[in-house]
Chain A
Amino acid sequence: MSLVSVAKAIADKKLSSREVTQSCLDRIAQWQPRVNAFMAIEAEAALAAADAADAALAKGKNSGPLHGVPLAHKDMYYEAGKVVTCGSKIRRDFVATTTSTALQRLKDAGSIRLGSLQMVEFAYGPTGHNVHYGAVRNPWNVDHITGGSSSGSGSAVAARLTFAALGSDTGGSIRMPAHFCGVTGFKTTVGRVSRAGAMPLSQSLDTVGPLAQTVEDCALLLGLMAGADPEDPTASTLPVPDYVTATKGSLKGLKIGVPTAFYVDDLDSEVARVLDETIAVLKKEGAEIVKVELPDQRQLTAACQLVLATEATTFHKRWLIERPQDYGAQVLMRLQNGLAIPAVSYLEAMRWRGPALAAYFAAVTGTDAVIAPVAPMPAVTIAESDVGNSLDAEAVIQRITKFTRPVNYLGLPSLSIPAGFTKSGLPVGMQLIGRSFDEAGLLRIGAAFQRATDFHQRYPAWHE
């Protein structure tokens, strides 16, 4: 069941929150030893919260659109009184004293907490490896990566251990696990969702967003989380549209751009096939497909790296001095990279963001979205991508994230949708890249695609 359907079933008293929560806990007990998606499982507290939700509903008290729905989120969203590890050894015992705005808004809508989800150490890595807590595994094939850094979120949603999960996307960390694990993931426009109480990685690039089974699920969650927040002055004050209603529209009259270069170069043959098939579906559903010549995306990738590396290193500088031995080798290496970027280079990259975004908009004028692969390849194996801090590690990372980073640099929204499978049964996702704050437009396209396909409804089988 999707998030939207289970929330309705609970609200209509066709299912109790306890039944739903117990069902999630049963699946978690079965899958967790295999996929390592959870950081903490809080079964007793979850069932108590479910009973309270059922009791409230029996008295006619419905706390919101997520009443009694069990969820788990990436372990970087602060919740007062809870340990929030951020996937790290350094914060193994860190107890939050505040609750993140995004999380609080989902709690206010009635959701209950199953526990917390694994992630890459400090959200700084695209594969899902974690030397402190073990790699998260892809439920479609446990020898393969989930993608990161929202590794637990991708794995848990794919294995149907939670109905949805918060992730975060600074360089591709929602879209990557969505692509590799076969779920829907939504990287929002910078500023669309408050980042208050979310572990920072890069203040200019960090975004909060959901991973879920369907586009409609993402629309529901985004509508609950988006909007101004006094705790985060960078959160936009633009009005929040009705995202769920946006999912009902058709593709007729919409124009979708297909890049002529970069995003279509050097693709794995099966990713290229899925891209062609996705375009065919969009066309069949009524969209007009046009070619777009984008500005040099490699420059955007480079600028993104200059910004991200500098800002991440700045956040971590104190621990780099005091506790370098407590970082995993790869994360330490990547944080050290930021030490070698002159302030002038960083600020040039920041100054160029406006003109770069204007040039992108000029290139896509007249289109409603651009379609592109999330990554050039399906999920590689955990073994082959376990590059640690080797000399070629950054090159491997850059190859995996080459299609996501330009979007982060430009601060654009991007919706990753399950779009097909490889012959060996690994999922392949495609990203729809939109205009700033036009999340509604992407949800419309993504939902129409999901009405015409069933990739989002498939989930990995349990094999003894």
Chain B
Amino acid sequence: MHIWLGFAVLALVLWGITGVTQKLSTNRISSERSFLWFCWAMVALSAAVLIVARPNWGLGTIVVLCSVAGGALNGLGAWTSFRALESGGKASIVISLISLYPLLTVVLAVLLLGERLTWMQSTGAVTAIAAAILLSMEGAPQAESSGAI
């Protein structure tokens, strides 16, 4: 197995768990308070990375700007997803919409980064997006749960 695939699957698993924890949070507190504590956790994690990893600070301006823009867009996306869940959006529907983000990433990666996909990878990308949509569709009505833990 490729190393990058292992990391991608790890991200998939962790983000999959957050689909549940996000809903459990907004069941009890406002989206703003949820987002604020989400940010504090990120700050704590960043501090830990700073201490443990000792990153290289000799970065170009473009790299720093891209990183800041990535973090800001990520944060805005997290907040809007908390807001969508708080305002009555079912986790299954909200997650289905969020999981469509690769549609944009694939197009931008091909256009801006000049990436080229093999036939297998292109088929895989389309299959992954279709799978994400199908997975997020609601199950049988009798099987619904309140999600309370």
Same assembly:
no
A interface vs B, CB < 8 Å? none
